[in-house]
Structure 1
Amino acid sequence: MSSEIKVEVLQKETITPSSPTPPHLENLSLSVFDQLQPEFYVPLLLFYPNNRDGSNVDHQSLAAERSNLLKTSLSTTLTHFYPFAGKFEYNVSISCNDHGAAFLQAQVNCPISKVLEKPDHEVLKQLLPADIASTQEIAGHLLLVQANFFECGGMAIGVNISHKVGDAFTFSKFINSWAAISLGSSASDHIVVPAVEFGVVASICPPLDFFNSGLPIAEFAKGKSVTERLVFEASKIDALKAKAASSTVPNPTRVEVVSALIWKCATEASRSNSGYVRPSIWCQVVDMRKRSGQPLTENALGNFVWFFASMTMESEVDLQSLVSKLRKGIEEFEDKYPNGVSPQDVCQTIQESGNLMTKDGIDNYSCSSWCRFPFYEANFGWGKPSWVSICTMPAKNTIQLTDTSDGKGIEVSLALKEDDMAIISSNEELLAYASLDPAAV
């Protein structure tokens, strides 16, 4: 299908903040958490079917109208999210110089339903303005937007943001602030996050000179991988919770049970292909904002995430035991860091986990959950998105979780080695709870 669908970029321009960034905000120091993020572009796609009645709508005029609204509101939003319009000074700071964000307008030669009926990774990548694995030197901007207009009048907004300026929490704040400004609303206090929220994390977790080298601090696991999309509906998650519940964890969460099942299936596939029992480590990203012991960090922008790791070495992996390991992992994390993670803690964790995770014969899986971030609330003026996709990251053994549109199910983007994925994609236990690459309509 990807060869039949063509995405043609018609215009490309730079959108600068509507007001200049004040001199005292022109240099934003990175935090140690910013320093440690790989230099890649986080992807997001928001799909909006045409919600206008009648066949007499001029789709070309509609596209121009919406494109202009997006550009104008983006310019206003950048005055509040000013680092997004800046330039990254390698692992030291962001120069908030109003360099601007890239804005592309593209035309897609099919109705939006053709993409949504059978999402194709190669097509989805065309709807994004930058390759995920780009650096700032290649992409040219820290923030890039591509407004894609379909023949039917539907549209998809593709956004790439450098991970160096923010995590999923920050991305969500930006998208919803931009949408609210576009919609023309000012009734909610979450519409514009105060500019002072940038730099909070760096003030309590300052950067370390140790990480200021010209070489990447963190890189993705190399190796050929394939990506599949799995969707767990709410009713299936309820059934999975019942199966995964135990006296240790009588009330597992959505994320715990889905993560445990993915971990179980991936471990079994890897062991089947290798022919022996391999230790398996699950690294779960943790949002530190409500775990820092300081209320001023609850709305801090930038990167403020860390992780905990759980391991299994058992010859037989059991769903209940894996859920227990995940629950124990977060509880031990919170006990160990009651006042948040310090730069010294970061260094110690890197040393300890690095030694373990680089050993041969150990499988490492990295999971990030975007569940409960309100991307499905992003109404720019033509309704809420029908589907939100975070596509895939350029790394093997990575798992990303997002909400389904009803906020109760979970969508999984799973990247694994090709031979492991071949086993997982036909795993009967997994397919009893998840749909493999269903329609997004």
Structure 2
Amino acid sequence: MAIDHEMKVEIIHRATIKPSSPTPFHLRDFDLSIIDQIAPVMYIPLILFYPNTANGNVNIITAERSKHLRKSLSETLTHFYPLAGRIMRINNPYIECNDEGAQLVEARINCSLSEFLAKPDPQMLRKFLPTAVECKEISKIKWLLLVQETFFQCGGMAIGLCLSHKFADASTLATFINTWAGISRGSVNSFVLPEFGASSLLPPLDCSEAQQLDLPVIQLVPEKSCETRRYVFDAANIAALRSRAASLAVEKPTRVEAVSALIWKCTMEATRSNNTSDFSSPRRSSWCHNVNMRHRVEPRLPDNLVGNLVGYFVEKAEESEVVDLQNLVAKMRKAIEKVNKSYGEGIDLEEALDVVREYANLLKSDEIDNYNCTSWCRFPYYDADFGWGKPVWVSISGVTFRNMVFLMDSRDGDGIEAWLTLKEKEMALVGSNKELLAFASPNPSIIYN
């Protein structure tokens, strides 16, 4: 559908939402775990899009839904009480659960939902978020949770969330959004309340201990000359890609392994092409992938245990290596098996910190091209029904962190949406890669009727 005007999001109102019940005094201080301490200073973004399927006056419908979201968010904050608090102390941070609240932003956009979803713009998606994803320092974080409800002219809406990475990972975000949705629709038995206690498993370090252990800090530095693009792999193309990536070493690559290997291959080819044109020698490349600890630790940790329960594996490709899908998949499988074995024997804190140190050093290194992949596949974001149906699309937004790859499920659960943020010159080469385009569609429309 053609759009004959510029899309604009207008902020109507900002409000502070406090918990419906006060937090007991004995829960006022919430310790962060050691993984929370070293997590990057940024917000985790998520945007959920809902059509208007109700009959009636659009203004009345949107007003009722806005009121309903505020009430249910207040009730949800009673269970997620740290999100209504504030981070205290910079060197040894903890959350003071003082019930000061989360921020809720109400906004309007001058188009229909179907118009926007016909060609979703990764940069325009940032307008559906209540704040920038990027933060420069922990002292600048006032709100741990910010929410924006944006209503389309048709009565459809987008719910955009920014959750502090110092408190949460992708699994915690899924727990929060589905708890809120369950409370909103009044389905008491359809959601699980959060569990706390990550700091008991992974105790925080005070300032002197952190210095003694050379505690790494993951720093993601925003860059202006980056571009974000979305590529969608449907189920049929993923099956074909998995078949091509299979080998004697890995007979059945997973969806994520196959897609990750292809993206890594394309980025390496783009980088090497750039270096050749600049008369530079090929560079080494690394692929860092986040993994959810909850499923890998024995005994298994509950899905609703909140906090940053994230591990990493890093694989490298030398400058002289032949870039090959099967080889890259084999590297990834070997690395994840090593991670599974390690966590299956319990959490070795020093070993985990060594991996994070390697990752943090790679982020700062100019000697190697480092790509950072986060997979949100299989997290139940599409189950978030607030009382007016499940979302027709769930997305992130454009970011300015270089060499970032986000993988998310498509709505049917079988496809994968890949969000790539690269330097503009490198992105142009990746975007024209024939192998990538053989398996992925660049930014297709979201059809939901």
Alignment of 1:77-156 (within 5 A): 77-89=76-88, 90=90, 91-134=92-135, 138=140, 140-156=142-158
Alignment of 1:385-396 (within 5 A): 385-396=391-402
Query: Residue 365 of structure 1: CA displacement?
Result: 0.5
Answering whether residue 282 of structure 2 is matched by residue 277 of structure 1, we say yes
| Aligned-pair Cα RMSD in Å | 2.1
Name the CA distance, whole Å, in 1 between partners of 2:4 and 2:268.
32
Number of the residue aligned with 1:220: 220
2:47 to 45, 48, 51: 45
Matched-pair contact (CA < 8 Å) for 1:2–1:120: no
Name the CA distance, whole Å, in 2 between partners of 1:368 and 1:19.
35
Name the CA distance, whole Å, in 2 between partners of 1:222 and 1:75.
33
Number of the residue aligned with 1:425: 431
Q: Please identify, of 356-365 and 424-433, the stretch whose mean Cα deviation from structure 2 is larger.
A: 356-365
Alignment of 1:16-31 (within 5 A): 16-31=18-33
Q: Please identify, of 343-352 and 107-116, the stretch whose mean Cα deviation from structure 2 is larger.
A: 343-352
Distance 1:222 1:64, change over 3 A: closer
Give the TM-score normalised by structure 1: 0.93
Answering whether residue 36 of structure 2 is matched by residue 34 of structure 1, we say yes
Query: Residue 72 of structure 1: CA displacement?
Result: 0.5
Distance 1:60 1:140, change over 3 A: farther
Number of the residue aligned with 2:198: 201
Number of the residue aligned with 1:368: 374
Give the TM-score normalised by structure 2: 0.92
Name the CA distance, whole Å, in 1 between partners of 2:102 and 2:61.
23
Q: Please identify, of 354-363 and 300-309, the stretch whose mean Cα deviation from structure 2 is larger.
A: 354-363
Query: Residue 253 of structure 1: CA displacement?
Result: 0.5
Name the CA distance, whole Å, in 2 between partners of 1:144 and 1:234.
34
Number of the residue aligned with 1:173: 175
Distance 1:354 1:145, change over 3 A: closer
Name the CA distance, whole Å, in 2 between partners of 1:47 and 1:289.
28
Number of the residue aligned with 1:5: 7
Distance 1:353 1:227, change over 3 A: closer
Query: Residue 306 of structure 1: CA displacement?
Result: 1.3
Name the CA distance, whole Å, in 2 between partners of 1:241 and 1:330.
17
Q: Secondary structure at the match of 1:384?
A: coil
Q: Deviations over 1:161-219 (max 9, x none)?
A: 1111100000000000100111111223xx1414xx21x22102111224868x99321
Query: Residue 358 of structure 1: CA displacement?
Result: 4.1
Q: Deviations over 1:242-273 (max 9, x none)?
A: 11111111111100000000000001101110
Distance 1:201 1:3, change over 3 A: farther
Q: Secondary structure at the match of 2:62?
A: helix
Matched-pair contact (CA < 8 Å) for 2:125–2:398: no
Number of the residue aligned with 1:73: 72
Q: Please identify, of 328-337 and 394-403, the stretch whose mean Cα deviation from structure 2 is larger.
A: 328-337
Q: Secondary structure at the match of 2:200?
A: helix
Number of the residue aligned with 1:316: 322
Matched-pair contact (CA < 8 Å) for 1:2–1:122: no
Matched-pair contact (CA < 8 Å) for 1:265–1:427: yes
Query: Residue 345 of structure 1: CA displacement?
Result: 2.3
Provide the aligned length of Structure 1 versus Structure 2: 432
Matched-pair contact (CA < 8 Å) for 2:408–2:417: yes
Query: Residue 58 of structure 1: CA displacement?
Result: 1.3
Matched-pair contact (CA < 8 Å) for 2:134–2:222: no
Matched-pair contact (CA < 8 Å) for 2:177–2:381: yes
Q: 1:288 corresponds to which letter in structure 2?
A: M
Query: Residue 137 of structure 1: CA displacement?
Result: 5.7
Answering whether residue 355 of structure 2 is matched by residue 349 of structure 1, we say yes
Q: Secondary structure at the match of 1:243?
A: helix
Matched-pair contact (CA < 8 Å) for 2:19–2:75: yes
Q: 1:69 corresponds to which letter in structure 2?
A: H
Answering whether residue 239 of structure 2 is matched by residue 234 of structure 1, we say no
Name the CA distance, whole Å, in 2 between partners of 1:337 and 1:281.
22
Distance 1:222 1:160, change over 3 A: closer
Q: 2:60 corresponds to which letter in structure 1?
A: S
Name the CA distance, whole Å, in 2 between partners of 1:353 and 1:378.
33
Q: Please identify, of 341-350 and 57-66, the stretch whose mean Cα deviation from structure 2 is larger.
A: 341-350
Name the CA distance, whole Å, in 2 between partners of 1:436 and 1:43.
21
- Structure 1, unaligned runs of 5 or more: none
Name the CA distance, whole Å, in 1 between partners of 2:362 and 2:62.
52
Distance 1:2 1:165, change over 3 A: farther
Query: Residue 353 of structure 1: CA displacement?
Result: 4.5
Matched-pair contact (CA < 8 Å) for 2:216–2:357: no
Matched-pair contact (CA < 8 Å) for 2:87–2:141: no
Matched-pair contact (CA < 8 Å) for 2:362–2:370: no
Q: Secondary structure at the match of 1:392?
A: coil
Number of the residue aligned with 1:288: 293
Distance 1:124 1:139, change over 3 A: farther
1:330 to 314, 331, 336: 336
- Structure 2, unaligned runs of 5 or more: none
Q: Deviations over 1:103-140 (max 9, x none)?
A: 11111111111210111123211111111113676563
